[in-house]
Each structure stands twice: as structure tokens, then as C-alpha cells.
A and B are shown apart, each in its own frame.
Chain A
Amino acid sequence: MTELMGLLQQASIDGILAMGMMFVVISGGIDLSMGAIVACTGVMAASLAHPGQHALIVAILAPVLAGGLIGLFNGLSVARGGIPAFMVTLASMLMVRAAALGLGHGAPVPNLSRGFQAVAGAVLGPGVPCLVLYFAAVTAISAVLLRLTVFGRRVYATGGNPVAAAVSGIGVPGIRIAVYTLSGLLAGFAGVLLASRTLAGSPSAGEGCELNAIAAVLLGGASLDGGVGTWYGTLLAALFIAVLGSGLDRLHAPPSCRLAVLGLILYLAVRIGGRGRGRGR
């Protein structure tokens, strides 16, 4: 039980990011700025969370909103500016990472209030870490949004064929803005959690996170062309990646080994999966 919880805890922050990335990828986009947002909002949260400085809620909400704003900027640029998502989010990745370094003066920001440490560190009742609950909640909300709401259906329609979606009266720009904002919000939330968990807001946190999230989403059955993907696929893939990591750790495999195995599995999954999915043209 504790082992399972430990594993879920490992998977939580990456899993939350993967959920955000999932919406973007299904809509036919990509968000490279997630890792940088994690760092920036982490530093921001830590700076707001020194003991006796601000109310706890400020240290949590402000960074999440900041992440959402960055996402909104990404979304507006993609949807209205007509700039490819890869370039927009690459540019904002660099700018946001720079902001993280500036905010933290290039070094991790320690000295967090106990309340803030408890945000991700607390354990509820019979050994359920808070982090796992957050992950579960984000997954549940994502699943509902994606499967049950009009918004979710429009995300699929937009990714499947944006032209047909627009002709059918779907406000494609609005959908795009929404998915990037959502991924920004979730990245901001992940930044808060990571800062709380590591007891500091580090400007170098979350490096490569976005690529892990993309890996999980693709391994979970989504396509970079958009239009396909499921919440449970993403969930399973995120858990699988965590199991893989802890399994290899237990075998005392070096970290390089973990990356190699992940890369190989991703390659094979996309190759095998991609063959069956050839688009009918």
C-alpha cells in the first residue's frame, strides 16, 4: 500500500503536466513551455511563501494564475497570430525560463512556510499523500472535460480537422486559446506542488518536463497530428513511466538507462501505433 502510494506520488506532478499537455496535443498543438512555467511559478510561489509573509492562498493561487496567463499568451499567439505552436511555445519557454532565473536571482529560493510545505507534503488519513489526491482530481476533471463536455468534443473536432470544425460553426481560435490556457494553469499548479515538495522554488526545475509530458501523451495513444487520444491512455502512460523509473531504480540501473528505455519504448509505441493509424487520404 505504502509502496503503491509512493509510486503514485512519484507519478503525480508529471501526470498533472501530462493531462495539460493532452488537451493541447489532441487539439493539434504542442506546448513546449510547460517545464519553464513549472520553474517560473515554482520560484514565484516560493518567493510568496516565506513564513509570515502572505496568506497561503496567495502563494498558491498567484502562481497558478500566472501560469494561466502565460498559457493564454501562447493560445492567443497560436490562435489569432497564426504562428505555429512549436515556435510560439519555444519562444515563451525561453522567455519564461529567463523570468524564472530573474525572479530567483539565479538560485533556488528556500525558506518556505510550514503551511506551504504541507501543500504537497501532507499525508491524509491512512497514508494517502496529498499529491496523489491532486493528481486524481486533475485526472478526474480532465476526463470529465474531455469526455462529457461540449468543450471536450470541440477539442477533438478541432484537432481532427480544424477547417471542417470551423465550417461547422466551432470557434476554433477559442478552443485553441482554452487548451493552452488550461495547460498553463496546470503547469502553474505543478510548479507550486514541485516547490512545496522540494522545499524550494528552483529556476532550473522542470527542465525537460514538457518532453516527458509529450512522451506520456503519445505513449497513451495520442497523435501529434491531433484529433485522437484518451484521458485513460495518458493516465496509464504516466503511471507506466513512473513504474518504469522506480523499477529501474530498484535494480540500481543508472539514470541514463531509464532515459534509454523510455526512449526506446516511445519509439516502438509510436512506430507500431502509427502504422495502424495511417490517415485515410
Chain B
Amino acid sequence: MNPHLLEMRGISKRYRQGPVLRGVDLTVGRGEVHALVGADGAGKSTLMKILMGMIARDAGEIRIAGRPVRFRGPGEALRGGIAMIHQEPNPVLDLEVAENVFLGRELRRSALGPLGFIDRGAMRQACAVWFQRLAIDLSPTALMRDLSSAQRQLVEIVKAVSRSARIVVMDEPTSAIPGREVAVLFERIAALRAQGVSVIFISPRLEEVFWIADRISVLRDGALVASDAAAAFDRDTLVRHMAGPEPRTVLPKAVVPIGRVVLEVKGLSWGRRVRKVDFSLRSGEILGLAGLVGAGRSATVETLFGLHRASAGEVWIQGVRRTIRSPKAAIRHRIALVTEDRQRTGLNLLGTVADNLAVATLGRCARFGFSRRAREHGLADGCVRRLGLQALSRNALVSSLSAGDQQKVVLAKWLLADPAIVIFDEPTRGLDGSARRDIHLLIGELVRQGKAVLLISSELPELMGLADRILVMAGGRLTGEIPRERFSQAQIMALASPFAEVAHD
């Protein structure tokens, strides 16, 4: 009578900063792979956390097979038939596969409770049955440690369905998986579907969404903006739904004369992550670096910045060969790196705005080892004004700022260090439209000042709008270079695809 296995109706959630979900409806049918897409901050993970009972909803109703439920945590959700598989599962690496599958509900020989003897054989057998049913080519006795990340995801799936989960939520399952293994994972997702299990699939890679999904729902700013069969969408309509009616303004590309070469990288390598990367960067130039997640873009700039020890290659700055073994050395050579993960590598969340702004320039602002706060504060106030930070004061804790303001704090920190080469790694990820525009304008201002910019972005419109040239990476290698007049999304995607042949030209 009810075709929907899962029904979420009018789910709302509001945090102090404002609403994150506004009356979202989501219905998932039996044996359906349902993709949930949306920009970062659209509310996908909040919605899933509400489903799993990890956070409480303010309003709305959840029904599973017609029965209203309200879980108080992932444990209850699991008993209710929903399992969530996280981006990077955290298995017990030193146990074997079967033991991981049965972790916490080990099969026992006798009814002695926790002291009962483990029945390894039965667990291995049960595990093998599941592997067979889903046609997974894995041994139950393999050690978890020896498995690839895709295989670990598969084990997580088996763990979920063996606990009779009817709905499996997969949050960016492919983000940690190398390209060729994605197919393995997707074949198994298809097998799940054949078993009548529903999958809610979150992925930032739209090509994967089209590959696997039966239905697609799009979230934008906490609201459901579209939900339909996957065949009803194409890439452009999907992107339009995600981006919303925000005017497709031409990005504020600063047109400045391009000067001499300030940075030359020759054969830069770091193990298997970065392989013989060559490029040069000129003052006043914005050089884009495109590629899929895991293509080695971040690894390349991190190696350049001294965060990893290069295994080979040369770096020439202003015509002089330099060895950069630490960020300290990179900063001395006037390089700045605005890292991708603000919270993990960019900010001291326990500190104030002023603390964070000063951290890269403490030595320069000091006299005889004593920091001169008056001077730091003067610089900080200047930055707060210039960047239009909405923070009330430099004494605000950065943890209380919005994502956009946090990113501006990171940028300001680096601008205070007066770099000649500024590397941005996904500078607008998770930011709203106006904060994005501010960042774009700021990048323009930098090149106008004659600085050189290296820009990593997964958003092609951003990259194509701002860059003078785009380098494309895949599998740790540079696969192509495209000048501005020949920019095309199709060509970048083709070069970025790990399946593509290395460009011959």
C-alpha cells in the first residue's frame, strides 16, 4: 500500500546561525539508489544525521515502511533498519574481515554472554555467504589491514546488510577510493539494489551520480529544490539546480599584464602521489590546477610548500634554485598556501581572530622576541576592514565565525605575510555566494599587485572564470595544459578522468 520504504516529511533544523534545513521532504523507494546532491553546506549531511538520530530535528516526520520513527542514535537507527557508511570507515585493522563484520555481536558457541567462546568458523561462514550473495570477491579471513579502501567500504556494506539494514546511507563513499576501484564498489551497490536494499548515496562527483542513481534529489540552502528520476536530469540541469538562480555573473577576472617567471617547478615528485610535475608561474598570472579529488593537486602544492619531503625535482624561485623543506622555508621565500581544510590545517579554533591573523607573522611583528600586540592589532584591524569581515572584533573566537569569515581570516593571515606567490587550495569550498565573490575579488586584487596565484579548484566555472591557464592533473601526473582561449569544460573533464590516455599533442 505504501511504495516508499523511507519517507521524510517537512524536516527542519535551525542552528543559532540560522536555518540549515527548511521543511525537506525525501522519499526513497524499496531497492532504489537515491542520490542526494547539493553544494557543500546545502544540508545533506545534516539531513542524514537527523535520519540516523545523531542530531535532533526541530520539526518533521520520518516514516520507515509507513511506521513513524524517531531514533536517538545510530545504534537505534541500525536496529530500525538504517545503516550509515562513512567516508572513511574506521575498521579494527588488526582483526580479520569476518570479525569486523560481526564486531559487537560476535557469534558464540555457548550462552555465556561476553565470556562465551567466539565461534570463528560460524562467523567466517556467515560472512562468506554474504560475500557470495553480493558477489564480492573477498576472503572472510583476510586481515582488514591488507584491504584497499574500496574493499573496506564493501566490508562496511556487508556489515550493514548482514544486520538486516534495509536502507544504507553512503556519505561520499568514493572520496577515498582510487578511480578504477569505484567501478567495483558500484557493481556491488547495484547488487544491493537487486536484493531490495535501498541506498542513499551522497557524492560530489556528478558523473558518479549519473552512473549509479535511480533517483536524484537536490538540496540547496537547506531546501529540497528538485527530486526526480535520474533520467529526467542531465548534467547542466543538475548543476543549475545545485547552483540556484544566483546570476551567472561573469567572474571578476582581473586583466593584468603578465610578468616574468617567478616560480619554476621541474620534475617535482613525492612518492607515488606526485609524479614528475613541471610547470612555471609568472607574476600577475592566475594558474588554475584542475583534476578530480585525489588527482594529486593538493599533494603537489603541499610538497612545493615543504609539507612533504619531495622525492625528486627542482624548485626555482625568482630564478634561483631553492630547497624547501618546511613551511617556514616556503614562507621565507614568500610563498603562501591557503590550505583546503580550514578547520584542520588553517585555523587555531581555540584562538581569537587576532591570534590567528598573527600566527604567520609573529616574528616579523616582534622586537627582541616580545610580540608587539599593538602593531599586530593595527594590522589585524586593517585586514578586518579591508576584507569586510563581519566579525564584531578581532577578539572574537574564530570558532564562532561563519565559514566565509573563517576563510577570510585564513586569507588575511597569509596576506599579512606579504607573499609573492599565493597558492589557494579550494578557497571557496563550503562558502556562500557573497563570500565566494569576495574571495574571487581578492584573488584579482592579488594579481593586480603583481603577485602570482596558483589556484586549485574543483569547480570548473570558477577555475575557467579566473585562470589564465589551466593545468590538469590525474593520478599524480600533469595530463595537460590549456590556455585561456581554449578553455572548455569537456576538455578539462577528459584530461582529468583517470581513465583518459595521457594527452599526446
Chain A residues engaging chain B, CB cutoff 8 angstroms: 148-154, 156-157, 159-161, 163-171, 227-228, 279-281
Contacts and interface: CB of A to CB of B under 8 A. Distances in A.
B399 A168 contact: no
A204 B355 CA distance: 42
A153 B362 contact: yes
B327 A161 contact: no
Nearest to A160: B348
Contacts, number: 89
Interface in B395-416: 399-400, 413
A156 B327 CA distance: 18
Contacts of A160: 348-351, 355
Contact of A150 (B305, B328, B355, B363): B363
5 smallest CB-CB distances across A and B, nearest first, come from A160-B348, A280-B399, A227-B350, A169-B331, A160-B350
17 contacts: A150-B370, A151-B369, A152-B371, A153-B359, A156-B348, A157-B348, A157-B359, A161-B350, A164-B348, A165-B359, A166-B307, A166-B327, A167-B307, A168-B331, A169-B326, A169-B330, A228-B350
Most B CB within 10 A of own CB, among A150, A163, A279? A150
B362 A164 contact: no
A153 B327 contact: no
Interface string B187-225: 000000000000000000000000000000000000000
B360 interface: yes
B343 interface: yes
Contact of B351 (A148, A156, A279, A280): A156
B370 A148 contact: yes
Nearest to B347: A164
A168 B327 contact: yes
Nearest to A171: B328
A161 B351 CA distance: 10
Nearest to A226: B350
Given A165-B359, A167-B346, A227 B351 contact: yes
B281 interface: no
Contacts of B345: 161, 163-164, 167
B358 interface: yes
B345 to A, nearest CB: 5
A183 to B, nearest CB: 20
Interface string B349-386: 11100010011101100100111000000000000000
Given A151-B369, A156-B351, A279-B399, 9 more contacts: A148-B370, A150-B370, A164-B347, A167-B307, A168-B360, A169-B330, A171-B326, A227-B348, A227-B350
B43 to A, nearest CB: 17
A281 B370 CA distance: 32
B355 A169 contact: no
A281 B343 contact: yes
A179 to B, nearest CB: 16
B358 A153 contact: yes
B346 A150 contact: no
Contacts of A170: 328, 359, 362
A169 to B, nearest CB: 4
Contacts of A171: 326, 328
A44 B363 CA distance: 39
A157 B357 CA distance: 11
Contacts of B337: 167
B482 to A, nearest CB: 30
A281 B349 CA distance: 9
B339 interface: yes
A2 B173 CA distance: 69
Contacts of B486: none
Nearest to A152: B371
B464 to A, nearest CB: 28
Nearest to B373: A148
Given A151-B369, A157-B355, A169 B328 contact: yes
Contacts of B330: 169
B370 A164 contact: no
A55 B49 CA distance: 69
A169 B360 contact: yes
A90 to B, nearest CB: 24
A150 B350 contact: no
A276 to B, nearest CB: 12
A163 B344 contact: yes
Q: Identify the interface centre among A151, A154, A167, A171: most chain B CB within 10 Å of its CB.
A: A167
B366 A150 contact: yes
Nearest to B343: A281
B5 to A, nearest CB: 32
B12 to A, nearest CB: 22
B348 A150 contact: no
Contacts of B344: 161, 163-164
Nearest to B417: A169
Contact of A168 (B343, B349, B366, B413): B413
A203 B75 CA distance: 52
Contact of A157 (B307, B331, B351): B351
A152 B373 CA distance: 13
Which of A149, A151, A166, A169 has the most chain B CB atoms closer than 10 A to its own CB?
A169
Contacts of A167: 305, 307, 327, 337, 339, 345-346
Contacts of B370: 148-150
A159 B371 CA distance: 18
Contacts of A161: 344-345, 347-350
Contacts of A156: 348, 350-351, 355
Given A157-B348, A167-B307, A168-B327, A149 B371 contact: yes
A145 to B, nearest CB: 9
Contacts of B347: 161, 164
A151 B301 CA distance: 28
B371 A148 contact: yes
A164 B307 CA distance: 11
A161 B369 CA distance: 22
Contacts of A166: 307, 326-327
Given A153-B355, A156-B355, A165 B366 contact: no
Nearest to B329: A169
B54 to A, nearest CB: 13
Given A148-B370, A164-B344, A167-B345, A154 B362 contact: yes
Between A171, A228, A280, the greatest number of chain B beta carbons within 10 A of the residue's beta carbon is seen for A280
Nearest to A154: B362
A154 B337 CA distance: 19
